[in-house]
Amino acid sequence: MSSKKRLSAAALCTAACAIFAAGARAAPPSLPLPDHIVIVMEENHGYADIIGSVDAPYMNSLAQSGALFTDSHAIEHPSQPNYLDLFSGSNQGVTSDKCPQSFDVANEGSELIEAGFGFAGYSEDLPEKGSLVCTSGAYARKHAPWTNFINLPKSANLPFTSFPQKYKTLPTVSWVIPNLDHDMHDGTIQEADTWLKDNLSGYVKWTKKHNSLLIVTWDEDDGTRSNHIATFFVGPMVKPGQYGETINHYNVLRTIEDMYGLSPLGNSQGATPITDVWQ
């Protein structure tokens, strides 16, 4: 074979491999492929506590500007199992808030990293990078599910002070966990609303021109409302409106998995991805 033909064949192979790789990482046609997703998990309040509340003006402005799910539900009680459900598709046998826990199974973070994407969790009041302390100040490890998985690097477990102001340097998917005073667990709805505005409004504005998404949801309700919680998506790829399909933490996880071509984890295998809210 001539050198020209060998070069031509090599070029065709390179092009074909590139097309295959791009296709393998592309989101399904019914889903967008955000450059970044930030997930904020709030605590222990039902849908009716938040939507329409005068104490949550910023959260309601986000819900009105994005996709608000009017029939969103947590999976169970208490808090910790729901965080694990959203992060790994299973509560991993945990039915309490007991700390510490330890698992060596696939999860949202490990799958993203293995697929060449980025993941990090940012927790307010975490004393230092990689800390596995159960409590520190108003930090509670039970609300930071990635800390329980030994197949994630220490660098994925970060204090919120490490949350970048240059948002383009964020990993592909980030979790943001306010402390107990700012997630409605110990503090008020108003305090949580103000914290979210003060700390995430810059990111929300940035998403509009940078193909990125904010997801705000609650771990569970207060035990009196059939676990009916508020969940809303905000970003330039979202069609604003209210959406009435029944969803839960597994549907949200499955949506993120399908966006990045990840294998569905645990109970998310049987969950339907959310496909009707996208531009």
> DSSP labels for 170-201?
S-SEEEEE--TTTSSSSS-HHHHHHHHHHHHH
pLDDT reported for residue 28 = 79
Tell me the residue type at 166. Answer: K
Q: Answer yes or no: are the C-beta atoms of 51 and 184 closer than 8 Å.
A: no
pTM: 0.91
Instruction: Give ∠ CA 203-75-106 in degrees, rounded to 5.
Output: 70
pLDDT of residue 198: 98
Q: What share of the chain is helix, strand, coil (3-state, %, to 5)?
A: 35, 20, 40
What was the pLDDT predicted at 193? 99
Please give the Cα distance from 253 to 111 (Å, whole number): 12
The pLDDT value recorded for residue 132 is 98
Q: Note the pLDDT of residue 26.
A: 67
Per-residue model confidence (pLDDT) at position 200: 98
Q: Which two tokens stand for residue 27?
A: 């989101």
Q: In the prediction, which pLDDT does 77 show?
A: 98
At 60, list the tokens. Answer: 């309601």
CATH topology of domain 37-270: Alkaline Phosphatase, subunit A (3.40.720)
Domain ranges of the chain: 37-270
> How high is the pLDDT of residue 22?
39
- List the alpha helices (DSSP H) in the chain: 3-25, 47-50, 57-65, 79-88, 108-114, 189-207, 249-259
Residues of the chain under the 70 pLDDT cut: 1-26
pLDDT at site 27: 77
φ, ψ at 119 (rounded to 5°): -145, 145
**Residue % of the chain over a pLDDT of 70:** 91
Query: What are the tens digits of pLDDT across the range 112-152?
Result: 999 999 999 999 999 999 999 999 999 999 999 999 999 99
- Residue-wise pLDDT for 162-196, tens only, equals 999 999 999 999 999 999 999 999 999 999 999 99
